[in-house]
Structure 1
Amino acid sequence: MDDELEDKIFYQAYMSQMRFLSKFAMGISPLNSTMAYIWKLLRLYCMRTEVIVFALLCIVFVSYLHVLELWSQNVMRRVGHHFGVPLYSPRNRDRTSTRSPAERNSWEEIHEYGAVYAVQGRRPRMEDRYVMASNIKGTDVTIFTILDGHGGEFAAVFAKDQLMDRLGKKIEEAINISAGKISPIPRRRGSILLNHIEPVQSGENEEKKTDEPPKTPVSQRRNKLKKALSQDDDCNPAKSNCSQEQDSFLSKLSSIRLTKESFLKTTNKAVKPEEHDAGYYVDRDRKINFGKMVTDLVLLTDYELVEKAKKYENVAGSTLLLAVLYKTQLIVANVGDSRGVMCDGKGNVIPLSFDHKPQQTRELKRIQEAGGFVQFKGVWRVAGILATSRALGDYPLKEKNFVIAEPDILTFELNDHKPKFIILASDGLWDTFSNEEAVTFIKDRLDEPHFGAKSIVIESYNRGSVDNITVMVVTFKDGRYQIGTSKN
């Protein structure tokens, strides 16, 4: 009986459904529009809760795949590389589709003697700039420069254009004076007319010199290295001068008022540095003092940058790492925390510069004497703002003399070191590599097209660097240090 009752119920339900469908079908007259019929079908079969939920899930899934397009392409590229088969996206078969995220926003420059590779990385914009200029204006001088901007590109671009232009002209004139091609311009000191190649006589200086032992080039470089190393003492919070520093200087915040609004109202009281003629930097032995030349031009460029930045209310700044290669001399000027290292003929790692950090003893003392303070916010920062104690631009902090632009100069005689290569890079690299690690990494990749510069940049990105990364590698072969001339 139960089975018969079940059959009857099923039969009646089936017949009811069929009558409903037949009535629906018979009710469609030729006069009704096709769209009305389609709408009824959609309403009957498609506009159900389960159908709508399924459709939404499909949309979300497709959107998710679209967002992860780069990831899927990288997976396919790795699979193809593993099986030795090049795989390309069917929609885009050019090479850029197989690039890693680090390579997509990249800049490169390759020469016979070296290369530079730069990536924007995880920053919203590229603020690094660089210069590789050999045989400047027909001279034997080569310039390598790394500029790491912060707070925008303004300072780095300005410094690159103005400083490189001035430096190129001064170098050309100084080389011609040194070679005797042009006569120096006489200059005045007080009421006495002097020539640039005449020594300045000073009784006091001579007395001091008689008490001191003669300085050889080796002893001078050793003293410079010791002086630079003495600046690396960190500000230890456990020390009394650091633990009490914040309390003593926070009380001055009300008068300092380190806010953007007050910065824009400050006025620069600094005196414009004097610009000397090129003969000023050529001594009586016709040797060129590149260190003094670079220092003067950096300070002059910084003064003009600050003036222009105030006019446009731009608070951007930039570090500077500049190397001048002339004959067998390498002169390195550093302002900030970009860094250079050398791999000598024995494979030893030799620093070409030392970072200017606010917690260093010398820098901390200078900042405190100017009425400022150093505060720890992830890293030690000048007034809790800037992570480097020296930079070009940054006029609000420059106004208070908390940050300065005076470069440290180190000079290297390449015949003494017989270097294999040098590395110049912005701090985006040094956030993930030590000096020793970088030299070891490049040493194994000098046979690559970029001499290892591209590889180390991508490796730094993969290690998690969040900054722009610019790396320049310059190689020296067979003990030849002049670049871009016939004398190589």
Structure 2
Amino acid sequence: MDDELEDKVFYQTYISHMRLLSKFAMGISPLNSTMAYIWKLLRLYCIRPEVLLFAVLCIIFVSYLHVLELWSQNVMRRVSHHFGVPLYSPRNTGRTPARSPAERNSWEEIHDYGAVYAVQGRRPRMEDRYVMSTNIKGTDVTIFGILDGHGGEFAAVFAKEQLMQKLNKKIEEAVNIAAGKVSPLPMRRNFIENKIDQEPTNDADDKKMDDTVQPPRTPGSQRRNKMKKAFSQDDDCNPTKSNCKEEHGLILGKLTSIRLAKESFLKTNNKMVKPTEHDAGYYVDRDKKINFGKMVTDLVLLTDYELVEKAKKEENVAGSTLLLAVLYKTQLIVANVGDSRGVMCDGKGNVIPMSFDHKPQQTRELKRIQEAGGFVQFKGVWRVAGILATSRALGDYPLKEKNFVIAEPDILTFELNDHKPKFIILASDGLWDTFSNEEAVAYIKDKLNEPHFGAKSITIESYNRGSVDNITVMVIVFKDGRYQIGTSNN
């Protein structure tokens, strides 16, 4: 009896104690009640057979779409690689639909001798342009070019259209003259065979210098005879007499003084003077060789003048760099304005620069800018007047008028028989921000078997490395030592 009573007391004490602990615990920790509420909601609304079945079906459907996309891309890649052309042919549209951020607003062009691939990348607009023009009007001359616009695409588009129009016409005329198909226009030559316009002369002076009765002469022939008289080998001035060199020196000094005075006048006025447009015969010497370097330089400056004049009227401050490669027979002439760049992989695998960037901090460029009254300031990179990151460009008329920025190209000429190149790379600075010359050549070597000869791969790789600019890459491949691209001999 006593034991039963004791058990009842113990049981009641235990129950009272547990109730007290439960109330105490619930009073200091509301988390338990919250979790209980959430679990109740899940049990009532989510963990139901129909809901779980629907979720499983959604997961299966999304996974199927993802696998289908990967499979289709792989199939298209194999088809493109097998037939050697992209699924979206640039010959029809010139552009391919963007399939990734790196390919947003991209374009491409593929030929059997090379390819170009360009992406807008992380820039809001695509301002790059390119040129691939082979066998211009049957002359066996081929031109490749990269134009990298800034401040808009106005300058790059204008420069491409106008420069190529002028260049094509001059090349056709010059090649025909060199081949003897067309006679050059009458031209005046000075004593060192540079073809320049001479100052008007006085007919009376000609008569004093030549007392011999001559047939009627045109003003041009009078000036030529005058120059011949001044440098004749007769008794008045033959090589054995010391006064001959003195006379030569005096004339050279006068011509130099006139040239320096003219340059000083132009510089002090800070006005762009329209460059002289010469006829095609001006660039063909007596040996029938064409001076493509001089031709490109003159036409680039003329195009820049026209661009600046139009930009003033439209108040457009855009500009563009220019990298132009002219291929004729075994000669490669490269003209560079700005910081696009070209490199060559020669027959031994060596990396040969085909151009050098025009940067404001370079000694030569800095001196020129300072002599013109300008300055160079560091704002992330060195910039002309704190504005432009390249010291040479087409357009940019506010900086062009004061000669802070110029458009005169550097010209480099390569004899391809000496270098025996495997391929060349022309690209805008979007590529060179992430690749060195050596890295780019090594990368393309491993990708030459791709449909784009590595141009697309290196462009996307540059984007993935963090390039923030438009990226345009052109790869030209020379096969079996043949350099006349697009001609009947190729």
Fold conserved (TM > 0.5)?
A: yes
Query: What is the letter of the counterpart of residue 454 of structure 2?
Result: G
Distance 2:431 2:68 in 1: 25
Query: What is the letter of the counterpart of residue 381 of structure 2?
Result: V
Partner residue, 1:134: 134
Partner residue, 1:321: 323
Partner residue, 1:442: 444
**Counterparts of 1:43-442 in structure 2 under 5 Å?**
76=66, 80=70, 99-188=99-188, 189-190=197-198, 193=220, 269-442=271-444
Look up the SS of the partner of 1:187 in the other structure: coil
Quote the offset at 1:84 in angstroms: 7.8
Distance 2:73 2:143 in 1: 45
Partner residue, 1:30: none
Distance 1:325 1:291 in 2: 11
Quote the offset at 1:82 in angstroms: 13
Query: What is the letter of the counterpart of residue 220 of structure 2?
Result: L
Distance 1:180 1:446 in 2: 40
User: In 2, are the aligned partners of 1:186 and 1:193 still within 8 Å (CA)?
Assistant: no
Distance 2:246 2:433 in 1: 44
Quote the offset at 1:187 in angstroms: 2.4
Distance 2:98 2:398 in 1: 44
User: In 2, are the aligned partners of 1:268 and 1:307 still within 8 Å (CA)?
Assistant: no
Quote the offset at 1:407 in angstroms: 0.2
Distance 1:205 1:313 in 2: 53
Aligned length: 354
Query: What is the letter of the counterpart of residue 193 of structure 1?
Result: G
Query: What is the letter of the counterpart of residue 154 of structure 1?
Result: F
Quote the offset at 1:104 in angstroms: 3.2
Query: What is the letter of the counterpart of residue 446 of structure 1?
Result: L
Look up the SS of the partner of 1:301 in the other structure: helix
Quote the offset at 1:105 in angstroms: 1.6
Q: 1:156 to 1:79 in 2, by over 3 A?
A: closer
Look up the SS of the partner of 1:193 in the other structure: helix
User: In 1, are the aligned partners of 2:360 and 2:376 still within 8 Å (CA)?
Assistant: yes
- Tell me the TM-score normalised to structure 2 length: 0.67
Name stretches of at least 5 consecutive residues in structure 1 with no aligned partner: 4-49, 55-71, 87-93, 195-199, 209-266
User: In 1, are the aligned partners of 2:174 and 2:283 still within 8 Å (CA)?
Assistant: yes
Quote the offset at 1:425 in angstroms: 0.2
Deviation by residue 1:216-236 (Cα, 9 ceiling, x = unmatched): xxxxxxxxxxxxxxxxxxxxx
Query: What is the letter of the counterpart of residue 154 of structure 2?
Result: F
Q: 1:205 to 1:168 in 2, by over 3 A?
A: farther
Query: What is the letter of the counterpart of residue 343 of structure 2?
Result: V
User: In 2, are the aligned partners of 1:119 and 1:470 still within 8 Å (CA)?
Assistant: yes
Distance 1:115 1:455 in 2: 12
Distance 2:377 2:157 in 1: 29
Moved over 6 A (4+): 81-86, 94-98, 200-208
Q: 1:166 to 1:204 in 2, by over 3 A?
A: farther
Deviation by residue 1:97-147 (Cα, 9 ceiling, x = unmatched): 992211232100001100000001111110000010000011100000100
Q: 1:343 to 1:369 in 2, by over 3 A?
A: same
Partner residue, 2:453: 451
Quote the offset at 1:207 in angstroms: 7.6
Q: 1:425 to 1:78 in 2, by over 3 A?
A: farther
Query: What is the letter of the counterpart of residue 175 of structure 1?
Result: V
Deviation by residue 1:437-485 (Cα, 9 ceiling, x = unmatched): 0000001111110000000000000001010000000000111100111
User: In 2, are the aligned partners of 1:77 and 1:98 still within 8 Å (CA)?
Assistant: no
Look up the SS of the partner of 1:451 in the other structure: coil
Look up the SS of the partner of 1:118 in the other structure: strand
User: In 1, are the aligned partners of 2:104 and 2:121 still within 8 Å (CA)?
Assistant: no
* Structure number, greater radius of gyration: 2
Name stretches of at least 5 consecutive residues in structure 2 with no aligned partner: 1-11, 17-40, 46-61, 77-86, 89-95, 189-196, 202-218, 222-226, 232-243, 250-268
The percentage of aligned residue pairs carrying the same residue is 82
